[in-house]
Structure 1
Amino acid sequence: MKFKYSTIILSGALLLSVTACKKNLEEINRNPNASETAQPDYLLTGITKNIADTYWGTSNNMDASLLFVQNWSKIQYTDPDRYIYTNTSFQDLWNTAYTKGVINLNQLIKLADEQSNPNYKGVALVLRSWVFSLLTDAYGDVPYTQATNIKEYLTPAYDKQKDVYFALLEDLKSAQASLNTSGPAIGGDIIYGGKANPIGLWKKFANSLRLRIALRIADREPEKSKQVLAEIQAEGSGYISDNSEIAQLVYSTSPNQNPISNLFDTRDDYRISKTIVDKLFELNDPRLPIYASPTKDATPKTYVGLPNGLLVGDASAYGFTKTSKPGTYFLAPNAPAVIISYAEVLFDRAEAAARGFTAEDAADLYKQAIAASLKQYGITDAAVNTYLASPAVQYDPSNYKKSIGDQKWIALFGQGLEAFAEWRRLDYPQLQPAVAGTLGGKIPVRFIYPGTEQSLNGASYNAAVASQGADALTTKLWFDVN
C-alpha cells in the first residue's frame, strides 16, 4: 500500500508538472506584440496572393499545363515537356491549395460570421470554390467534405469529382446570397479593391465561376447545367461583362512580381510552342507579337516556335537566339494572373447557347468573345474587325466545339490550368503528342496525386484510385467524356 500510495503521489506530481510546463510554454510562446486573432483583410490579401502565385507559377503552369496544351515548350531540361514526372512534381498545387488556401479560407469564413460581415464570407466562398475547382480539374477525386474540417479529419476521404462540382455549385449559390452590395465594406481585396462597386463585381465573379463549372459537367449532367444557368438568370447579378471586370491579380514590382517574370529574371528554359505560333501565323492573328517575343537573332519569320517534347540535344540545336520566348507582356513584373476573363465568359455563354441551354445567339457571342480577347491586349478596332471577317475564324454551328475550342485555346494563352481543362473537355484543338513523349503517343489528361498522399493518407488514396482508376497521367477524369 505504501508503494502504491507513493506511486500515486509521484504520478500526480508529474501530471501537475506537465500541466504547469504546458501553461508556461503557452505563456513563453505567446507574442505580446502580435494579435492572436487574424485580421480578415490581411488574411484575404495573403490567401489571394498565395493561391495566385501557385496557380500562375512553375510546377502547375510553366512545367505542366502550359506544356500539355502546347502554349509553351522547353529548350532546356526537357523532361516535363516529354511527360516525365515524379510523384513530387504536382504536389505544389495540392499542398498550397489545402494548407494555404482551404484552411485559411475556412478561417476567413469563421471570422466573417463572428464579425457579422457576410461580404467576407461571400468572397471567401468564391475563392474557396475556385481553389477546389483547380484541384478537382487537375486530379479528379479530391478531399472536399472532410477537407473543410482538418481538426476532425486528419486523413480525409476523397469525394468523387461529380460530387465536388455539385457541392461547389451550391457553395457559389451560398456565396451569391452572402454578398450584399449594401452590406459592410471589406478590406484586403487585391482583385476588385479600388474599383467601383467591388461587391457587385464579386457577385459577377461568382456567377461566372458557376457558368464555368456548369459547362464542365455539361457532357455528363446537362439538366443540372441548365438548372444552374436558369438560377443565375433568375438571380440577376449577371456575369463579368467587360474587360475592366476581369477577375485577376495584377502584380507589382519585386518582390511582388509575377511568378513568370521572377523565373525569367534568372533562367532561360522556355520558349513559345511551335503549335500555337503556327496557328497564329495561319490565322494572321494580331496576338502573335503579344504572345511571342521576336527571336534574338534575325530570322525569316521573326517569331519561331519550338516543337514540344524534344530531347535535350535536339531542343538546343534549334538555337537559344533563333527561337522565341513568350511575349514581353507575359514576362513583365506587373503582368496579371488572370482567373476568369471577359472573353472566357463570352465563349462560355456562346457554348451554353449552342447546347440549347439558353436562348442567346451563339454565333454573335462567339464573335464578341474573340473581340474581347483581342481588346484585352490592346488590339485596335480596325484589326479586330479584319480578323473577325476572316473566313478561317467564322463560327461553324455544325461543330461548335471546334469553333469555340480552337479560339478559346488561343484566348486562354498563359492560363495553363484552365486551358488544360477546356482542351480535355472540348477536345479541340486536336494536338499532337510531344515529339519524344514517353506516354506511347498520348498527352497527359490529369495530374498524378502527390506521393505524400500514399504515405500519409493511404487508405483514402487507395479508395480514390480504386474508384477513379490508376493514378496515372493518362487516366481520364469523370468530366472528360470523349
Structure 2
Amino acid sequence: MLKKLTYITLFALTMTSCSDTLDEINKNPNATETPLAPYLLTGSLKQGADLYWGSDNNFNSSLLFVQHWAKIQYTEPDRYDVSNTSFTSLWNTGYATLITDLNTIINFPADQANTNYKGIALTLRSWTFLLLTDAYGSIPYKEAGQKVTPAYNTQKEVYTGLLEDLKQAQSLLGTTNGSVTGDLVYKGDITKWKKLVNSLRLRIALRISDKEPALAKQAAIDATSDAAGVLSSNNDTFKFTYTSSPQQNPASAWFETRDDFRISKTLVDKLTDLADPRLPIYAQLPSDATVGKYVGGANGLSNSDANSQGFAKTSKPGTYFLTSSSPAVIASYSETLFNLAEAVARGYISGNAEQLYNDAITASFNQFGITNAATISTYLNQASVKYDASNYAKSIGTQKWIAFYGQGLDAFTEWRRLDYPVLTAGPATVLDGQIPSRFFYPGTEQSLNGVSYKAAIAAQGKDLLTTKLWFDAK
C-alpha cells in the first residue's frame, strides 16, 4: 500500500512539473503581454495608409468612379459590375484593426499612454470613421467595438459625433503633455497634429454644409479660430511615406506584377485642355514612342474594347505614384486651402475666396514639385481656371478633383458633394448611365448583424450603389 501511494505521489508531482514546464514552453519570450502605445500607433498609421491607397478602396474602385484611372483589362470594376464582397476591406480593416487598436490606446491607463497618444488615437479613429461613413453612409459608430451586433448611426449622427470627438482630441493634445514615439508621419510634432485636427473639423463642416448650414458654419468658425490653426504649408501635409519592398507603396507593388490600369482619358483630356503642368507627373507617355503624347484610357468599356485601345499606346499613371517610396497623402495643405476658400464663399468665415482658391492650386503644384512662378501665373490666369464667384462649386470642385489625383476615397466624396466636374458613365457600365454614389455594405453584415443592417437600410435606402447618402441628397 505504501509503495502504491508513493507511485501516486510521484505521478502527481510529475504532472504538476509537466504542467509548469508546458506553461513556460508556450510563452513567446519575444512577445509582450501588454500592447504598447508606440507599436499600436505605428501599425495604425501604416495600415491606415495601406487601406486608403490600396487596391480595394482606391485604384480598383473610387479612382475609377471619379475617372482618375481606368481599366484596360479586367474591366468589371470600371463597369460597376461588382458585388457586396467588393468593398469589404474598408469595413473589416477599419473596424477590426484600426478602430480596435486605436480604442486600445484611448483606453490605456495614464502610465501606458499619455494624453498625446490618446489625442492622436482619437484623431485617427475619427478619420477612420469619416472614411467609413463617406463610403457607406449609416455605420456602427457609438456602439462600435462595444457590442457584437452594434446598432448603426445615421450619417448625420456620425458627422456631428466626429466634430465632438475631434474637439476632445484637440483638448488632449498639448506640447507639454509628454513625448510620442512610433509616429511615422509627424515624428511626434504635436503642433502638426493639432493643425490636422482642425483641418479635419473643417473638412467635416463642409460635408454637412448642404444639410446643416448653421452647424456647418459654427464648426468652420471653431476650426479656423482655434489657436492651433489649420495645415499651413506643404510641410504640414498628413502623409505616410513608404520605403522599399515589402514596406512599399501599394500601387508600386501592384504594378510590379500587373498591368491593368491606365490614367483616365477624362483626366488626360482635362489636363491637356488646361495645359496643366501636372500632366507629366500624373501620367507616363505611352511605351510606343511613335504615339508621342499622353493618351488616357476610356472608362467603362467592355474588356475587348478596353484591350483594343492598345497597352503600348495608352498612358500608365505617372512614375511619381508608382515608385516604392511614393507617399500616401491623406490630408494635404492644398485641400485645406480649397476648404477655406469654400467656407469663405459660403459666408461661414471671412477671407478672400479667390485668393485662397489660387493658393490652393499653387500648393498642389508645389506638392508635385512645380514651383516656377511664371508657369503657375500663366495657369491661374486662364479664363477656364479663373475663380468664378457665381459658381464656386464648379471652380473649386473641378480644381479639387485634379488636386486629389490618387486620393480616390476623398475625391469620390468631394465629387458627390460638389457635383463637379460633370462626369459621364462609360458605354458598357451596368447602372443605367449612373455612376456609383456609395459602396455596398459587406455581405457579412446581413448574416452577422442582420437586425441592425435592416434597420439601417430601412432608414437610409436600399443597399445599392446608386442610393444617395445623406450629405449628397440634394
Q: Deviations over 1:51-91 (max 9, x none)?
A: 11011000110110000000000001000000011111000
Structure 1 unmatched runs, 5+? 1-20
- 1:373 aligns with one of 364, 372, 395: 364
User: Which secondary structure does the structure 1 equivalent of 2:70 belong to?
Assistant: strand
**Residue in 1 that maps onto 2:132:** 135
Query: Are the structure 2 counterparts of residues 33 and 407 from structure 1 closer, same or farther at C-alpha, using a change threshold of 3 Å?
Result: closer
In 1: Cα distance, 2:129 partner to 2:300 partner: 30
Give the letter for the 2:221 counterpart: A
User: Which secondary structure does the structure 2 equivalent of 1:182 belong to?
Assistant: coil
Give the letter for the 1:164 counterpart: V
**Residue in 2 that maps onto 1:330:** 321
In 1: Cα distance, 2:131 partner to 2:109 partner: 24
CA drift at 1:34? 1.9
- 1:97 aligns with one of 87, 94, 97: 94
**Residue in 2 that maps onto 1:15:** none
- 1:270 aligns with one of 261, 267, 270: 261
**Residue in 1 that maps onto 2:445:** 453
Give the letter for the 1:183 counterpart: N
Q: Deviations over 1:222-257 (max 9, x none)?
A: 111111122224421110010111001011111100
RMSD: 1.6
1:223 aligns with 2:220: no
CA drift at 1:457? 0.7
- Contact 1:51 1:100 survives alignment (8 Å): no
In 2: Cα distance, 1:156 partner to 1:266 partner: 40
In 2: Cα distance, 1:222 partner to 1:23 partner: 65
- 2:85 aligns with one of 75, 84, 88: 88
Query: Are the structure 2 counterparts of residues 381 and 80 from structure 1 closer, same or farther at C-alpha, using a change threshold of 3 Å?
Result: same
Q: What is the 5 A alignment of 1:39-438? A: 39-111=36-108, 113-115=110-112, 117-149=114-146, 153-193=147-187, 198-379=189-370, 380-438=372-430
Query: Are the structure 2 counterparts of residues 441 and 375 from structure 1 closer, same or farther at C-alpha, using a change threshold of 3 Å?
Result: same
- Contact 1:112 1:118 survives alignment (8 Å): no
In 1: Cα distance, 2:330 partner to 2:181 partner: 20
Aligned length: 456
In 2: Cα distance, 1:207 partner to 1:332 partner: 31
In 2: Cα distance, 1:232 partner to 1:470 partner: 35
User: Which secondary structure does the structure 2 equivalent of 1:338 belong to?
Assistant: strand
Give the letter for the 2:433 counterpart: G
- Contact 1:112 1:120 survives alignment (8 Å): no
In 1: Cα distance, 2:237 partner to 2:139 partner: 28
Q: What TM-score comes out, normalization by structure 1 length?
A: 0.92
1:443 aligns with 2:440: no
Q: Deviations over 1:317-363 (max 9, x none)?
A: 11000000000000011111111100000000000000000111101
Structure 2 unmatched runs, 5+? 1-17
In 2: Cα distance, 1:116 partner to 1:108 partner: 7
CA drift at 1:435? 2.0
In 2: Cα distance, 1:264 partner to 1:116 partner: 39
- Contact 2:199 2:223 survives alignment (8 Å): no
In 1: Cα distance, 2:460 partner to 2:19 partner: 45
Q: Deviations over 1:121-176 (max 9, x none)?
A: 00001100000000000000000011032xxx101111100000011010100000
In 2: Cα distance, 1:314 partner to 1:26 partner: 63
Give the letter for the 1:213 counterpart: I
User: Which secondary structure does the structure 2 equivalent of 1:368 belong to?
Assistant: helix
CA drift at 1:115? 3.1
User: Which secondary structure does the structure 2 equivalent of 1:73 belong to?
Assistant: strand
CA drift at 1:287? 0.3
Q: What TM-score comes out, normalization by structure 2 length?
A: 0.94
Give the letter for the 2:417 counterpart: R
**Residue in 2 that maps onto 1:12:** none
- Contact 1:387 1:393 survives alignment (8 Å): yes
Give the letter for the 1:62 counterpart: F
CA drift at 1:429? 0.2
